[in-house]
Structure 1
Amino acid sequence: MTRPVPAATTTLRVLRFLSSQPVPVSAARIASAVDQPRSSTYHLLSAMTDEGFVIHYPDDRTWGLGIAAWEVGHGFARQEPLARLARLPLARLVDQVGQSAHLVVLQGADVLYVIEERAPGRPPLVTDVGVRLPAHLTASGRAILASLPAAQVRALYPDKAAFTSRTGTGPSSLSELRRLLSATRQRGFATEDGEVTSGFASIAAPITAGTIHAAVAVTWEARTPIDGLAEPVAATAAEISRRLRH
């Protein structure tokens, strides 16, 4: 007979509960969900934070999933429905536009690259599978952030220290980011130019399917302006969304 391990069981319950929440939640809600005393829950959350499985947002007194939770599932991520259902539409997009494309998911204030489809003859990018980049700098990250509640965006970017830069450009405050996200929502797609890598630009559209926070993007050399990318990128994101819902 297998003996239960209460601490391990509670840890798994915390992870399962946090993964079902669209935004970070308070320790009190977590304690209630896993039926544990609040003091014990605080100790457990602190230990999980030290290991990277949980992120603490002190300004809002909330807790959310950490990068380690994604990393543990990275092997599964290569075969899970999002990656499997998105690979063919992404390959078709690359064939259609002749530029490299990728699929990302949101993890905290970063985007993680799940698929990259390299177009023949195009230069290598920094978007290999498993790479993490600041969401506020990438077109794909902005496409996802624009679809989130304002409170969640505020929790992800509590102060100026959250606004890192790679090339000296990009939003450096919450008010700047909000303006970018407002423009993204109005257009239905996001862009960036030289904010991830100098000389390269990207365009992205969000995938909308339940609680999945993901996006499709195309990246090209900015010195060669390309028109008409918004429609095929948005159509690919919509096709992947339909596949996931069905």
Structure 2
Amino acid sequence: MPRPALAASRAIDILNFMAAAPLRGYSLTELVRQLDLNPASCHALLGAMTRDGYLVRAPRGRVYRLGPALIAIGHAALQCHPVVAAARNQIALLSSELDMDSLLTARLDDRLIALASEGPGRMPGLAVGQRVPLIPPLGTPFLAWANEREVDSWLAKAAGAIDADRLRQSLAMVRQRGYAVTQRSPEQAATGLAVLGMAEEPLAGDWQKRVAERIGQMGEDYLMIEAQPDRLHPVMMISAPVFGVDGAVLCTLSLFGFGRPLPLSRIALLGEAVARHCRMASAMPGRPDKQINEVGRG
């Protein structure tokens, strides 16, 4: 693979870093320290990116923020990815329908990135633009319809001891249900705190390592595989896949912010609601609903 141009790579690092905490402004000194950049090179990059509108510099405080040129690029990108644009609209409809928080997530190779969020914001989730490692047990809606080679690669990235057979069983259950259910636990809560901490320093190596370790410690119990109808379940998130026209998972739509444990009947109703909105996002012109339903149910 060709080595990327250093200036281009550094510019991408700056944009990714600032996108993970877009309401903050960053000084030259902060960006140099956080991204381990050469001060002179960073100053030149910031000047070029500000000139073209990718960044703006505050008249006071000497801090940089994301610029308006990125808005136009974002709109253009949504035109290139109409299914993702439709999914973005669906999370707003889902949150309004159920008065809960929702999140749209995409896969970027070995990372998950939050693309959009909606809802009352009662419970913190991934910030838009934030990335987390795609390692077990995270990412089952993306892997449930993947081939064996992809699943093996995902399992090999586990940050802790895992039961591979149980994780494969969880993928089969996601395909059967059409959605994934994850459960709240002390280990998951610790992971959530680590992810929130990483939002402040998204590219810091120690935070990345800490989050990966916490994810690995959540274990297979984080995934709801066997569900008992006569008990309440501490659900953290319900997620379903949005499929592209080729049948590949493009993104996932997730519902979260459950205030109390739920019975299996309620989980099933909410899961079907999430899956229904995902099918609506997947509906493309010229693609019959029958095909969408068959893909969405494996």
TM-score (norm 1): 0.59
Match of 2:104 in 1: 103
Distance 1:245 1:104 in 2: 25
Distance 1:221 1:197 in 2: 15
Structure with the higher helix share, 1 or 2? 2
For 1:223, the aligned partner's letter is R
Gaps of 5+ in 1: 1-40, 54-66, 166-170
- Deviation of 1:191 after TM superposition, in Å, equals 1.2
The 3 A distance-change label for structure 1 pair 172 and 134 is farther
Deviations 1:93-129 (A, max 9, x none): 0011111011111122332111111x2262222x111
For 2:124, the aligned partner's letter is P
**Is the contact made by 1:207 and 1:215 (CA closer than 8 Å) also made in structure 2?**
yes
After TM superposition, the runs of 4+ consecutive aligned structure 1 residues lying more than 6 A away are none
The 3 A distance-change label for structure 1 pair 98 and 231 is same
Distance 1:245 1:157 in 2: 36
Match of 2:123 in 1: 123
**Is the contact made by 1:207 and 1:237 (CA closer than 8 Å) also made in structure 2?**
yes
Which secondary structure does the structure 2 equivalent of 1:106 belong to? strand
TM-score (norm 2): 0.49
Across the aligned residues of Structure 1 and Structure 2, the Cα RMSD in angstroms comes to 3.6
Q: What is the aligned-residue identity percentage?
A: 21
Match of 1:163 in 2: 158
Distance 1:142 1:207 in 2: 13
Superposition pairs of residues 1-246 of structure 1, within 5 angstroms = 44=2, 47-48=3-4, 76=73, 79-80=77-78, 81-117=82-118, 119-120=119-120, 122-125=122-125, 127-135=126-134, 136-138=136-138, 141-158=139-156, 162-164=157-159, 172-194=162-184, 195=188, 197=192, 201-209=236-244, 210=246, 211-221=248-258, 223-225=260-262, 227=266, 228-243=269-284
Distance 2:94 2:159 in 1: 31
Distance 1:106 1:206 in 2: 11
Distance 2:259 2:171 in 1: 22
Distance 2:117 2:97 in 1: 15
Distance 1:245 1:214 in 2: 21
Distance 1:245 1:94 in 2: 28
- Deviation of 1:86 after TM superposition, in Å, equals 2.1
Gaps of 5+ in 2: 20-69, 194-233, 288-298
**Is the contact made by 2:243 and 2:250 (CA closer than 8 Å) also made in structure 1?**
yes
Match of 1:30 in 2: none
- Deviation of 1:84 after TM superposition, in Å, equals 2.6
